[in-house]
Amino acid sequence: MVKVEAPGVGDGMRQWPPLSLGEGEEEYSENFAALNRNKRSVVLNLKEKADREYFKELCRVTDVVLENFRPGVMKRLNLNYKIIKQINPKIIMCSISGFGQSGPYSEHGAFDVTVQAMSGIMSVTGEPESGPVKCGVPIGDFCAGLYAAYVISAALLDRESNGGEVCYIDCSMLGSLIGISALQTSEYFGTGEPAGRLGSAHPRNAPYQAFEAADGFFVVAAGNDSLWQEVCGAVNLPELVSNPLFKTQRLRARNQKKLGKVLEKEFRKKTITHWLEEFRNRGVPCSPINNFAEVMDDPQIEHMQLVEDITLPNGKVTKTVKFPIAITGYDLNIYRESPLLGEHNDEVKKDWIKNNEERTSD
């Protein structure tokens, strides 16, 4: 994978902290490293004709072009899909943007928080009495990337296996967030009422949320009647099973505030460790509420081997999370460290263009 960056500072994420010092005084962004390992970097000024021509040469020998300029920029550069397809009829091109390539908002700028707001995500995030809250992880950015990767993979498979048409993919952050909001949109379509903020609670299940113990908070998720009975046994209140307010899953969800008060009164009497052990022994899903320091030190993460060392270009050794899915027969370890800006200008020219020309001439 080749990342095309502008001259000067390149991708703005290169300036994002934490900036770690290496063997000398050179700093390197750990955020950038986490998202750009296994990539090579070339520098091109696409406003310059010579660099645009070089970009076209890269397009001639690649399978996929992925870009995230504002809609209209690639057309103004004379590098839109219509032009690129003439250069390489088999190419697949994907554009990621905030609101799509057409429509009244297409040219609006977008960052993760603005699209979370537009999509409705912020209206269901946070406690009922709180103001709007964005998700702590930039799900607008990452969901669009995941949708793009999925569709690109499907298009490549169709092209190679079934002789399918090459295609242009218009992937918007807004559409991606609407796509993962199926439960909330279907609730609206079914009731005519938009979902609201429930904090950590669930609109159709209870107890299914965070509760306070004697020394902090933990989560329990009793998603069916048998698990609910185990919760009642754990807090030594068997009479709750037959309580008319809580007899069914629907009733427990409807009356979850009252249920929460009853349960939390008991939970506050003992520690998180006690309740986690109790619920795990009973087969009830539960969890501590970890921060990232705690989860990175968790034995399950160690068992899954999700964290490995990585060396930044400045020589600093740090850690990163590797690809999180295990696939039989595939080694998914990091095979290339994140790049310096323009580090692979000559290498890509040799590998992609010169070598291709030599193969073609043979």
Q: Read off the CATH number of the domain in which 63 is found.
A: 3.40.50.10540
Q: Where are the beta strands (DSSP E) in 85-144?
A: 92-97
Q: Output the six-digit token pair for 164.
A: 């399918």
Task: Count other Cβ atoms within 10 Å, centred on residue 101.
Answer: 19
CATH code, domain with 232: 3.30.1540.10
Contacts of 101 (CB under 8 A, 6+ apart): 71, 95, 170
The answer to whether residue 357 scores a pLDDT higher than 80 is no
Q: Output the six-digit token pair for 204.
A: 């159709």
Average model confidence (pLDDT) across the chain: 94
Q: Which residue has the tokens 């992925």?
A: 66
Q: Domain of 357?
A: 2-182+325-361
Same domain? For 51 and 174 the reply is yes
Same domain? For 147 and 287 the reply is no
pLDDT of 309: 94
| CB contact at 8 A, 91 and 64 | yes
CA distances in angstroms from 283 to 100, 249, 273, 295, 318, listed in the order given: 45, 18, 15, 21, 38
| CB contact at 8 A, 70 and 107 | yes
pLDDT of 359: 55
Sign of the CA dihedral running 185, 186, 190, 191: negative
- Residue 51, class by beta-carbon neighbours within 10 Å (0-12 exposed, 13-18 middle, 19+ buried)? middle
What are the beta bridge partners of residue 88? none
Same domain? For 16 and 117 the reply is yes
- CA-CA distance, 219 to 162, in Å (whole number)? 47
Is residue 29 a part of any domain in this protein? yes
Of the residues 141, 158, 298, 331, only one is catalytic, namely 141
Same domain? For 169 and 249 the reply is no
Is residue 312 a part of any domain in this protein? no
If DSSP codes are grouped into helix, strand and coil, which group holds residue 284?
coil
Q: pLDDT (tens digit, 9 = 90+) per residue, 258-310?
A: 999 999 999 999 999 999 999 999 999 999 999 999 999 999 999 999 999 99
Please choose, from the candidates 90, 94, 93, the residue with its C-alpha nearest in 3D space to the C-alpha of residue 163. 90
- 170 is known as an active-site residue: no
pLDDT of 130: 84
- Please indicate whether residue 216 or residue 361 has the higher confidence score (pLDDT): 216
Same domain? For 25 and 135 the reply is yes
- CA-CA distance, 336 to 22, in Å (whole number)? 18
Q: pLDDT grade, residue 189 (50/70/90)? A: very high
pLDDT of 163: 76
Same domain? For 71 and 21 the reply is yes
Q: pLDDT (tens digit, 9 = 90+) per residue, 147-156?
A: 999 999 999 9
Is residue 314 a part of any domain in this protein? no
pTM of the model: 0.91
Is residue 81 a part of any domain in this protein? yes
The answer to whether residue 31 scores a pLDDT higher than 60 is yes
The answer to whether residue 361 scores a pLDDT higher than 80 is no
Sign of the CA dihedral running 273, 278, 279, 280: positive
